[in-house]
Structure 1
Amino acid sequence: MKKYLILLIIASLACNCKSKSSINSNAKETNSNTHSENKSEDNTIYFKATGNEPFWELKIGKEQIIFTSLIKGNESTVFSTVKPSRAMDANLKTYNVKNEKSSAVISIQQIECQNSMSGLISPYKVSIEIKNNTDSNAQKIDGCGKYITDYRLHDIWVLEELNGYKVFISDFQKELPRIEIHAEENRFMGFGGCNSINGSLFFEKDLLRFNNITSTLMACPENNKEDQFVKALQSTTTYSIKDNRLTLSNPSGKLLIFKKVD
């Protein structure tokens, strides 16, 4: 009898250990999947918009356009991302998308837009006409949105090359030019090679501009290349990041190459 009880206790302990191990394993797997999904979303979603009455949310990514809402029949709809058509006389993009259940026309215009409930100001107005394939009429809704500036830009970058040539401290004054980019706030600050500089960022998918650049008014030596640096910065339209290097370019070619230092 004692031997039977001992065997029963051992079996029960083994079962409990296995159950706990399975739970911990499942929890780890769930956390890992959640982290992976969040990381994936951060890497792919580049535009977000919301609207009210009824509430809706739009996310545009490299592969998918995700629309969620309180609209009956369109609570959660996923479309494949397509290349938008562009207006000739305004910053207006239009996406025509469809899947097996519905279709939508999404228009994104660069114009100041105020959320009807929160009062928050966004730089883009978004209009959507969405229709189930079984319906005859489309639902028309409006809201506001913004592009999500590439988080990889958020860093301190020190200049290495200017207009195709390697730069040296002797080309400037005491130290090399640098920029510190604050991606969430779409602004930057730094040192131009002689004066302190700051300004704002204009970011859209595949587009980056450094705008409203201002600087202190310190007199600079004639051989200082700060003017060339600032002009190149103002001429930037695109960028790439690879091997801790930020390359700024325009249709004419590479303008500036920076090295990440923080």
Structure 2
Amino acid sequence: MIKLAAAGALVLIALPAYAQSNAAPYRALGTEPFWSLTIDGSTIRYEPAGGRVVRVAKPRPIVGFNGERYQARGMTVDITHVECSDGMSDRTFHDTVTVTLRGRTLRGCGGEVLSETPEQTSLLEGDWRIESINGRLVAPRTNPRVTFNGARISGNASCNNFNGSFRFERGRLTAGRLASTKMACAQRMQNVQESSVLRILGEPLSVSRNRNGKLVLTGAHRTRLVLAPERRL
């Protein structure tokens, strides 16, 4: 007896499951907000940026004409074999992925990367003004900023300049040890602001772009920098 189930364009039929290699976990990701998903031989792991990781036992997949569905307790994962762009870079993935978790639906991409242009060029590259730190506007008469150039990061945290290297992979920004000048700020709030900027940039950060074209850098403990494009005269 054939049982049909619809999930958008995904048409599924209850058929014997295809075996998935334990040596090659399936990976997917989404942006705005950033999340990642890993399916291995026994577990589905969902990890949001700055949130609680959810792990469920991997169920037997329902295999359809153009994809698979995993229906676990509290989580459903639909993998449709339709090419997908992650919306943050020029990468194209083999699959479109939808995750439904406790009534919330998240969309992203997964599987093999079919084409890729370095993410630095398409998303981070350029000059950015730090607009807010952990939800608060920067201190008056300060101009903290960040520049991404190739694999180098530089800028001003409030009073002192900094520079270093960084990596940007799968929507995550990781800066190396940042070198900074040591000039004392004139006001206490500037010192506090500078310490916050350097501390946040030292964390692994998820990166997304909001509707206004600003970058949102989010740390694991809900720390956040919002960067606005630097206006050129």
Q: Compute the TM-score of the two structures, normalised by the length of structure 1.
A: 0.42
Rg (Cα) greater in structure: 1
Q: Compute the TM-score of the two structures, normalised by the length of structure 2.
A: 0.47
